[in-house]
Amino acid sequence: MIIKPSTALRNEYTEISRIAKESGEPIYLTKNGEGDLVVMDIYTFEKQKKLLELKAKILEAEEQRLSGLQTYTHNEVEQKFAALKGELQKEGLANV
């Protein structure tokens, strides 16, 4: 865990940016000895955001499954897509 005083953000911005990019870890900034902000590089932030979104989708799917919503196997989905593709080809939309 990397902890810096909040004044470091103003006085050592380049160094904090370098540390964040190299470590891939959040940097905790304190103000008067108390936690105040968390700083991280944009790549790590976007990666973490996408992971949280994926986890939310998985949780939603699991809740739907547990509630009794109809589910499909991988093979069933492939068959449905193949059938849809066949219908589109019949209608002259073969490149879809």
pLDDT at 82 exceeding the cut of 70: yes
Residue 73 lies in a domain: yes
Lateral strand order in the sheet of 27-31:
2-5, 27-31, 34-39
Look at residue 14 in the predicted model and tell me its pLDDT. Answer: 92
Residue 46 lies in a domain: no
Q: CA-CA distance, 22 to 5, in Å (whole number)?
A: 19
State pLDDT tens for residues 9-39.
Answer: 889 999 999 999 999 999 999 999 899 999 9
Residue 58 lies in a domain: yes
The structure's pTM equals: 0.63
Residue 95 lies in a domain: no
Provide the number of structural domains found in the chain.
Answer: 2
Domain that holds residue 71: 51-90
pLDDT at 96 exceeding the cut of 70: no
